[in-house]
Amino acid sequence: MRSIAVLNQKGGVGKTTTAVNLAAALALSGKRVCLLDLDPQGHASLHLGLSVKSGHDSIYEVLVGEASIADIRKQVGENLWVVPAHLDLAAAEMELAGEVGRELILKDKLEADDAEFDFLLIDCAPSLGVLTLNALAAVDEVFLPLQPHFLALHGLSKLLRTIDVVAKRINDQLRLTGVILCLYESGTRLASEVDGDVHEFFENGSGSGTSWSDAEVFQTRIRRNIRLAEAPSFGQSIFQYDNNSNGAEDYRNLAEEVLGLQQSAMVDDEDDYQRVA
């Protein structure tokens, strides 16, 4: 199973839109996908039509030991399941602060779950608190959505440093593997310049031995599209809402890239095996 945290501490960059629609696209490709909503706003849950009441059936109950993941996981489509969130989750930041091993609670809960999936995607909170640390401790990969404006790289060093610290101290499998440019307007000079800056930034970090030194910027650009903004109010993924839109096309292409990366990794592993043999 590939486990991926979709993360950016800055809001409004397409994080939840990407988590939801990438999960839906992977599910449509035939992969079994679980989307875990770890954002107290619960927007990923609402995006897929799940409205959770306070004190019932949310990831909050899992983190405080009142339920298992299997108890609250809901199937919302063919090959697609959601572990929903509610605003109650905001209280978990404070309630878990004094817990020993608080960064590993989600990891332990996931390891106790015997359901089998091809992909686990976690929609993280737009912060670097206890909830986000739980996500980073539980996954192997991070996908970073970025909006192409002049502040795109602002604050990125803190996020990368957090990933590095978690990789060194808690989860040595953790890597930033993909950067996704969202809300993209291809006809603008600004988008082109920021695109170049992002590529240059990560190319300069290549081979640095950090947890993000092998990160790739996905070729797919998620174009600014009003259909993507409308879909959540109907409780639908972009594929349910408007399968012929630019947004649906972009997330299909992104899913194909993600699956291509998976296949490339398998080929690399086989090559390594043959060289050793």
Q: What is the per-residue pLDDT for 266?
A: 45
Mean pLDDT of the chain: 87
Domain tally, the chain: 1
Sheet containing strand 74-77, strands side by side: 74-77, 80-83, 33-38, 119-124, 2-6, 141-146, 175-184, 216-223
Domain of residue 181 covers: 2-276
Residues facing residue 83 across a β-bridge:
36
**221-277 pLDDT tens trace:** 999 999 999 999 999 999 999 999 999 999 999 999 999 865 554 444 444 434 433
Instruction: Give dist(CA 250, CA 234) in Å, integer.
Output: 20
Per-residue pLDDT at 55: 56
Q: Yes or no: say if 141 and 3 are a contact pair by the CB < 8 Å rule.
A: yes
CATH value at residue 30: 3.40.50.300
Rg from Cα positions in the chain: 18
Q: What is the pTM of this model?
A: 0.89
Tell me the one-letter amino acid at 79: N
Q: Give the number of residues written for the chain.
A: 277
Per DSSP, the residues of 228-253 read: HHHGGGGT--HHHH-TTSHHHHHHHH
Q: How confident is the model at residue 206 (pLDDT cuts 50, 70, 90)?
A: confident
Angle of helix 130-138 relative to helix 156-169, nearest 10 degrees, comes to: 60
